[in-house]
Structure 1
Amino acid sequence: MACSGCSTENGLPKGCRNNGACASGSCEKLPVFDWLANMSQPVDILKFPYVEVKFKNDRKEFYYNIDNLPLVVGDVIAVEANPGHDIGRVSLSGELVRSQMKHRKVKPSEALPKIYRKANQKDIDVWQACREKEHQMMLDARRIAREIGLEMKISDVEYQGDGSKATFYYTSETRVDFRQLIREYASAFRCRIEMRQIGFRQEASKLGGIGSCGRELCCSTWLTDFRSVSTSAARYQQLSINPQKIAGQCGKLKCCLNYELDSYLDALKDFPRTDLLLETEKGKAYCVKIDVFKKEVWLAYQDPRLSTWYSFKADKVQKFLAENKAGKPTKSLEDLNQEYNEVASSFNKDIIEENSLQRFETPKSKRRRKRNKNTYSKNKNKSSDKMKTDGTTNAKRKPNKKRYKKTKPKKKGD
């Protein structure tokens, strides 16, 4: 279901100007598809009296519909806050809220904050006016914190719907004593101040951005839980430990390093240890690198004079190690690699040319090329015969006097 406010007008998109907060369809940030929207309880008493309300960015909370108001997704409502009231949009209602509360481990109870009413025009005007102040307020807050000398960064500012309180989200690597900062903010902005520290990953999810893959950040679109990412995930995937390549917009390791980690761990079970030492007739060999996709292990001698690398399948290397465990050294890497290549080449022969990409194409005729060669040879023979009859060559040919004859300029009377 697309947003009705973003429909087109004269072939151009109008845009609802809600920056993804319209909560009426696919343009919402971190949306949940309500597949039970068309189903309702036959009795009003059995309806689930809780709704999910979305505020600025990705903040969502559950509220108790004490008056059983007929709410649908996208309605602007006034909810209970401390102090005063806040304005938000309904992002989910009905039976699907029950499963969402169970997923987030929130128990349904009357102690949850309540829904007051549907927002009237005055509530919406005050709410929009507060939203327009937030950006300038964030810039002023950064300036004040810099003048005091605090090592912190104000990432975002969120006004309460009635304008009585402002929440400042900040990031810092050290503990910050912001008692003086709160006094400065209270005198500058004339409202109640609340400071809330967030992590660098939460900051990236709030602000959004484009990753190195060219797509929007996962944390700002669909990722809701932030798992710890370690450098061992990059080592298992044979990636270089370069902070500039494996770090995201937040400065931490990319969350996508965990996506394929389980597949790599399953594939590495068939590989030998990377710190292996293979006893050969020519000396000891060690593992240089492994190729997970081709299931190959590259071996080389410990002797620095023998710097050639040899590739073998992982199961073959396991057999070599089993021979060493039995007390029998294997052949040299050159002999083993030659035997391996001979066996592989015998199976890779393409007798009927199935691997040829041009087997269904007809070869192009070279008739035109031959014709050009014939005409060139004929013209060459004619020129050589003419030179023989004239008795001259290109080097000794005399210039034609008629061709270079000078003409006298005509006079005016002629």
Structure 2
Amino acid sequence: MGCSSCSTGKDGQPKGCKNNGTCGTDGCNKLTVFDWLSNMSLPNGERPFEYVEVRFKNSRKEYFKNTDNLTLSIGDVVATQAQSGHDIGMVTLSGELVRVQMKRKKIDPSKEELPKIYRKATQKDIDIWQKCRNREEEIKKRSREIAIILKLQMKISDVEFQGDGSKATFYYTAEDRVDFRQLIKDMAKAFGIRIEMRQIGYRQEAQRLGGIGSCGRELCCSTWLTDFRSVSTSAARYQQLSLNPQKLAGQCGKLKCCLNYELDVYLDALKDFPAQDTKLFTEKGIAFCQKTDIFKELLWFSYKDDPSNWHVLSKDQVNEILEKNKRKDKVPSLEIYAVDNIVEDKVVFENTVGQDSLTRFDRPKKKSKRNRNRNRKKNTSKNRKPNRSKNNA
């Protein structure tokens, strides 16, 4: 969703706010929040909640105490307390919803002292902040070159400057533990700032960088997903998906988070469903389950001696056969049950109005009789002209 500053520039080219997800109107931010209590007034005698939620570059969000009772709303740029100096962030949530979010994230302000908000950012603060942000890509490229020279097995994926420009945090991913002491010395000497290294996982890397998923939409982790739950291959098995790592893995290289979205629906549907390794004992032989359709409640079975010939049975029919097998009774055959499930294919569309075939352009076009006669007359007239000239000569 674009903001008001993402306008069109010269020659119809998109102008863009050039803030990479941190525009002033909070329109194209990551993890944007809608405050549905903003139009409601507090009861008499109630004071507004004194903590606010502030978002920094990409998806980093923290909570700060509004000690000076500043009038803050979503989209305000504020200067916040840091370990040394100050940082610049944007208010993403204020009011009673902050209390709910802090409770959900198990943050108790009575037990731990949270940092505070200094002031609303001045134009000077914003200019310094923007100047530091413009240096990030250049510094990230240079830091990667230094890491390659030192032969460190790590990938520096993102750089985040503090609002006052005194410190930079480098986010990296690595398989094993990395000794980056020399790297910090070289970068501090090259850039003249304090360096902090922070290791993140591959999912956190995809969350910070963003991208487009195989579904054609933006990544869930970079737009609205706030927590990462464990995803296992059993989720794909329950949903009868092929265990192809190229299709099941996301841009982070891990299993897609969306595999958990519909898992509960499948688990509820499988409660009364026969197991995948169900065997049916008949007088004709043992039958094995080849395929299941959970929502149509159908199962396909084939005999051990004839695996290519499948017979479709309903869930109730399979449970009935299993009950008989428990009593050590065998049914005559699967065909007796499968006959009731045969459905004739109905023709939904007929070519009654004479639509042309899709391959009509593949066949050469036949010439009509009129065109043939015209071509013959032209050829005969051409052949006669030279003969007349010879006779005249």
- Identify whether the pair has TM-score above 0.5, normalized to the shorter chain: yes
Q: What's the secondary structure of 1:105's corresponding residue? A: coil
CA offsets per residue over residues 201-242 of structure 1, 9 Å max, x none? 010010011111111111111111110111111111111111
Match of 1:161 among 163, 166, 169: 163
| Equivalent-residue separation in structure 1 for 2:152 and 2:179 (angstroms) | 8
Q: How big is the shift at 1:272?
A: 1.0
| Equivalent-residue separation in structure 2 for 1:133 and 1:183 (angstroms) | 19
State the partner residue of 1:24. Answer: 25
Instruction: Say if 2:107 is the partner of 1:106.
Output: yes
Q: How big is the shift at 1:247?
A: 0.5
Q: How big is the shift at 1:54?
A: 1.2
CA offsets per residue over residues 295-351 of structure 1, 9 Å max, x none? 211111122x5631111111111101111111211112234323x24xx55xx799x
1:2 to 1:200, Cα distance in 2 relative to 1, 3 A: closer
* Letter matched to residue 135 of structure 2: K
State the partner residue of 1:407. Answer: 388
Q: How big is the shift at 1:166?
A: 0.8
| Equivalent-residue separation in structure 1 for 2:46 and 2:319 (angstroms) | 67
Q: How big is the shift at 1:122?
A: 2.0
Q: How many pairs align?
A: 364
2:24 and 2:77 in contact (8 A); partners too = no
State the partner residue of 1:292. Answer: 294
With structure 2 as the length reference, what TM-score do the two structures score? 0.84
Instruction: Say if 2:112 is the partner of 1:116.
Output: no
Describe how 1:129-144 pairs up with structure 2 within 5 A: 129-144=131-146
| Equivalent-residue separation in structure 1 for 2:198 and 2:348 (angstroms) | 64
State the partner residue of 2:377. Answer: none
State the partner residue of 2:210. Answer: 208
Which of 1 and 2 has greater Rg? 1
1:321 to 1:71, Cα distance in 2 relative to 1, 3 A: same
| Equivalent-residue separation in structure 2 for 1:25 and 1:125 (angstroms) | 18
Q: How big is the shift at 1:257?
A: 0.7
Q: What's the secondary structure of 1:195's corresponding residue? A: strand
Match of 1:148 among 147, 150, 163: 150
2:317 and 2:337 in contact (8 A); partners too = no
Match of 1:243 among 225, 235, 245: 245
1:236 and 1:265 in contact (8 A); partners too = yes
1:356 to 1:287, Cα distance in 2 relative to 1, 3 A: closer
Q: How big is the shift at 1:273?
A: 1.5
Describe how 1:263-278 pairs up with structure 2 within 5 A: 263-278=265-280
Instruction: Say if 2:44 is the partner of 1:63.
Output: no
| Equivalent-residue separation in structure 2 for 1:24 and 1:36 (angstroms) | 19
State the partner residue of 1:324. Answer: 325
Q: How big is the shift at 1:15?
A: 3.6
| Equivalent-residue separation in structure 1 for 2:388 and 2:8 (angstroms) | 77
State the partner residue of 1:231. Answer: 233
State the partner residue of 2:338. Answer: 337
With structure 1 as the length reference, what TM-score do the two structures score? 0.80
State the partner residue of 1:177. Answer: 179
| Equivalent-residue separation in structure 1 for 2:389 and 2:168 (angstroms) | 99
Q: What's the secondary structure of 2:270's corresponding residue? A: helix
| Equivalent-residue separation in structure 2 for 1:108 and 1:4 (angstroms) | 36
1:53 and 1:90 in contact (8 A); partners too = yes
1:87 and 1:127 in contact (8 A); partners too = yes
Moved more, 141-150 or 5-14: 5-14
1:270 and 1:315 in contact (8 A); partners too = no
1:42 to 1:15, Cα distance in 2 relative to 1, 3 A: farther
Structure 1: segments with no counterpart, 5+ residues: 366-399
Match of 2:259 among 257, 262, 279: 257
| Equivalent-residue separation in structure 2 for 1:13 and 1:306 (angstroms) | 60
The RMSD of aligned alpha carbons is: 3.0
| Equivalent-residue separation in structure 1 for 2:125 and 2:27 (angstroms) | 26
CA offsets per residue over residues 123-171 of structure 1, 9 Å max, x none? 1121111101111111111111121121111110101011111101111
| Equivalent-residue separation in structure 1 for 2:176 and 2:211 (angstroms) | 25
State the partner residue of 1:85. Answer: 86
| Equivalent-residue separation in structure 2 for 1:43 and 1:280 (angstroms) | 77
Moved more, 16-25 or 325-334: 16-25
Structure 2: segments with no counterpart, 5+ residues: 355-379
Q: What's the secondary structure of 1:270's corresponding residue? A: coil
Q: How big is the shift at 1:13?
A: 6.5
State the partner residue of 1:73. Answer: 74
State the partner residue of 1:36. Answer: 37
CA offsets per residue over residues 162-212 of structure 1, 9 Å max, x none? 111110111111111222222222212211111111110010010011111
1:364 to 1:193, Cα distance in 2 relative to 1, 3 A: closer
1:320 to 1:43, Cα distance in 2 relative to 1, 3 A: closer
Q: What's the secondary structure of 2:5's corresponding residue? A: helix
* Letter matched to residue 50 of structure 2: P
